[in-house]
Amino acid sequence: MTEHHIKLPEGSIEKSTTTLNLGPTHPATHGVFQNILELDGERIVSAEQTVGYIHRAFEKLAERRPLYQITTLTDRLNYCSSPINNMGWHLTCEKLLGVRTPKRVDYLRVIIMELARISDHLICNSVVGVDSGAFTGFLYVMQYRELIYEIYEEICGSRLTTNIGRIGGFERDFTQAAFLKLEKFLKEYPQVLREFENLFSRNRIFMERTIGAGPISAERALNYGFTGPNLRAAGVDYDVRVHNPYSSYEDFEFSIPVGRTGDCYDRFLVRNQEMWQSLKIIEQAYRKIQEFKGAEAGVFHADAPSYYLPEKKDVYTKMEALIWHFKIVMGETDIPAGEVYNSVEGGNGELGFYLISDGGRTPYRLHFRRPCFIYYQAYSELTKGSMLSDAIIVMSSLNLIAGEMDA
């Protein structure tokens, strides 16, 4: 690699291009990425990515951990929308174990996952704004991400790395405070989102900066394994929620926004539209939850005593419950042998879990399909021939999360 960068072009007495190290700790990269850019003036001749700075060997660690202890690893993949990762992992385990969840659990999960999607897109889109010189939007929407985090906090007690839910449902029912906060969010957020759109969507400066920056055709995007908003911005309406519905997504009515050119502007618009769709889904789910009557209205987990952790107050007072708690956490319950691939629509694409169990306490092998690891390799093609400042904005509009990429 090094010899490549100091080699002089044939027949010249001086290297005519400039090598620029963008990252790994550049403030504009929003994460630990290194890009070795070869620049001709301000135009990018080639870009070479180096990844792996925060590789933590999750797949190896998972081979020693029972199912519940892996949930905390999934938090740390895409940490902008960790509830989706947690749910994806629990859904994978449920598929392997054959646990069926009640409808109310599914709807509660949908609410949490869509809130996480909003917070993910919110950050990504406002950071695109920051990188094109508009800081206001970023600060403005931050208070609504805070509100989303408060809802998480009401449900599971933590904010960023949530470790939310259990195999078969949730650790406790949503509190009244959680629903009140959700109502507040549903009431106030549409105006904020509309205002956020007004700041950017038809903003002349923003349009000039993003239209035509880092475009990709549908064909190339598919070949590069794009998924999620980045693929949809290129015009392919592939969405795991619709194509392989999980957690009762088939009960909801929503549309898949698509773009046309796959450039930064389309990616921005697609994410904005998806936030509107997520709001629609949350509203429907909340209405469905209010329709449950009687005993059904309090259901928050499946009846799966061998995998669902017993209630805490029983664990502290009853011996049986305490034993089961330890058995489950340490993976001493029966786990069938089998191979499962399960995927969910994560914040930035199809997040897949390929789990091989040999019937032991821990997975024999667990592989994460991390969407942004796969589509980041298109970065050099996306930025070839564009300006240096476009490289920054393309990177932020791809929604690259270092934690997910390096696993």
Partner 1 sequence: MALTNETIKSKLLEKFGESLSNFEEPYGLLSFEAPAGMNLKVMQFLYDDPELRFQFLTDLCAVHYPGQAGRELAVVYHLHNLTDNIRLRFKVFTSTQQPDIFTATQLYASANWMERETYDFFGVNFVGHPNLIRILNVEEMDYFPLRKEFPLEDQTRIDKDDAMFGRGGSIN
Least distance from C-beta 60 to partner 1, angstroms? 6
Using CB under 8 A as the binding rule, whether residue 404 contacts partner 1 is answered as no
From 336, 305, 187, 207, select the one nearest 264 (Cα to Cα).
207
- For 50-61, the DSSP string reads E--TT---HHHH
**Cα(400)–Cα(407) distance, rounded to whole angstroms?**
13
94-133 residues in contact with partner 1 (CB under 8 A) are: 95
Is residue 310 near partner 1 by the rule CB under 8 A?
no
Q: Count interface residues toward partner 1 (CB under 8 A).
A: 40
Instruction: In whole angstroms, give the CA distance from residue 292 to residue 270.
Output: 33
Residue with tokens 């790994």: 24
Taking the complex as a whole, how short is the minimal distance between the CB of residue 239 and partner 1, in angstroms? 11
β-sheet bridge partners, residue 369:
352
Partners of 35 in the beta sheet?
A: 22, 49
Residue 379 near partner 1 by CB under 8 A: no
Write down the least CB distance from residue 357 to partner 1, Å: 11
* Residue among 139 and 330 whose Cβ is closer to partner 1: 330
x/- contact string, 314-343, with partner 1 (CB under 8 A)? ------------------------xxxx-x
Q: How far is the CB of 28 from partner 1 (least distance, A)?
A: 23
356 binds partner 1 (CB under 8 A): yes
222 makes contact with partner 1 (CB under 8 A): yes
CA atoms of 406 and 87, how far apart (whole Å): 20
- Scan residues 65-94 and list those touching partner 1 (CB under 8 A): none
> Quick one: which H or E segment has residue 6?
helix 2-6
Q: Rounded to an integer, what distance in angstroms lies between the CA atom of residue 131 and that of residue 213?
A: 13
Among 212, 225, 245, 331, binds partner 1 (CB under 8 A): 225
User: Is residue 51 a contact point for partner 1 (CB under 8 A)?
Assistant: yes
Tell me how far, at minimum, the Cβ of 64 lies from partner 1, in Å: 5
What are 378's two structure tokens? 């298109």
Residues in 7-26 that interact with partner 1 by CB under 8 A: none
Positions in 28-47 near partner 1 (CB under 8 A): none
- 135 lies in the binding site for partner 1 (CB under 8 A): no
Interacting residue with partner 1 among 373, 382, 390, 399 (CB under 8 A): 373
Q: Does 63 bind partner 1 (CB under 8 A)?
A: yes
CB atoms within 10 A of CB 116: 26
* Piece in contact with partner 1 (CB under 8 A), picked from 100-108, 118-126, 187-195, 359-367: 359-367
369 sits near partner 1 (criterion: CB under 8 A) = yes
Minimum CB distance to partner 1, residue 225 (Å): 3
**Binding partner 1 by CB under 8 A: which of 47, 284, 376, 400?**
376
Reference 112, options 371, 394, 344, 372; nearest CA is 344
Instruction: Provide the 3-class DSSP secondary structure of residue 385.
Output: coil
DSSP-derived 3-state class of residue 346: strand
Residue in 201, 190, 126 with CA at minimum distance from that of residue 399: 126
Tell me which DSSP letter residue 41 carries: T
- Dihedral pair phi/psi, residue 45, rounded to 5°: -85, -45
Q: Are 141 and 132 in contact (CB under 8 A)?
A: no
CA angle 361, 73, 118 (to 5 degrees): 135
Residues present in the chain in total = 407
Chain contacts with partner 1 (rule: CB under 8 A): 51-52, 55, 57, 59-61, 63-64, 95, 220, 222-225, 236, 238, 243-244, 338-341, 343, 350, 352, 354, 356, 364-365, 367, 369, 373-378, 406-407
